[in-house]
A and B are shown apart, each in its own frame.
Chain A
Amino acid sequence: DIQLTQSPSFLSASVGDRVTVTCRASQGISRFLAWYQQRPGKAPKLLIYAASTLQSGVPSRFSGSGSGTEFTLTISSLQPEDFATYYCQHLNSYPFTFGPGTKVDIK
């Protein structure tokens, strides 16, 4: 099975900061990667799919990049509603797995 790791597991940032989260796969997954946002007590929400395609309705301050085994999620200017936990998920082969998550908290 393909394992995903995320770094950092936790980060503290201020409104307006540029934030980057990294997701690494244990083997190559081409660009079959998604990013989700989960606010406390809420369901996950798809932000980015196919590594870099912004889901409809998601603000343009979110962007994704990468291929193979290393991927990044970037928030260009952190907004109050962006404080949440972010998960990556690969869809390269079954079973699909999620990364352990990165919690973005208010500094």
Chain B
Amino acid sequence: EVQLVESGGDLVQPGGSLRLSCAVSGFTLSDHYMDWVRQAPGKGLEWVGRTRNKAQSYTTEYAASVKGRFTISRDDSKNSLYLQMSGLQTEDTAVYYCARGGTVAGRHYLDLWGRGTLVTVSS
């Protein structure tokens, strides 16, 4: 079955760190761009960042709000995507989704999403 399953969400104190994982199944991870998108409680969607595929050397892009604090990585051999978060702030509280970039139309639209994992930043 083609799916994405996030894990690692937790309650963390301001200034703390956390690593989220996204387990991939049913497709070849190395072929795809992969994104993280978050949604604060009761709010809209916010794009967090992207890792390109193997052919594009796994380079990354980030939203300004997380750049320098969050790092996206992947281990294709383990079929896993990661989001390392540090310097967490209360405004980082959200459900974090991993999403797959499709391979049509040249822009890698997000055609498959996981169910999300909740990160709560609070003292």
By a beta-carbon cutoff of 8 Å, the part of chain A in contact with chain B is 1, 32, 34, 36, 38, 42-46, 49-50, 53, 55, 87, 89, 91, 94-101
Contact = CB atoms under 8 A, between A and B. Distances in A.
B102 A44 contact: no
Interface in B98-118: 99, 102, 104-105, 107-111, 113-116
Contacts of B61: 94-95
B44 A100 contact: yes
B45 A44 contact: yes
B97 interface: yes
A77 B25 CA distance: 35
A55 B104 CA distance: 10
B63 interface: yes
B114 A49 contact: no
Interface of B: 35, 37, 44-47, 50, 61-64, 97, 99, 102, 104-105, 107-111, 113-116
B103 to A, nearest CB: 11
Given A89-B47, A94-B61, A43 B108 contact: no
B105 A43 contact: no
Given A50-B107, A95-B61, A95-B64, A43 B116 contact: yes
Contacts of B45: 36, 38, 44, 87, 89, 98, 101
B102 A49 contact: yes
B109 A91 contact: yes
A101 B44 CA distance: 7
Given A43-B116, A99-B44, A101-B45, 11 more contacts: A42-B115, A44-B37, A44-B45, A44-B110, A44-B113, A46-B102, A50-B107, A50-B109, A94-B61, A95-B61, A100-B44
A50 B113 contact: no
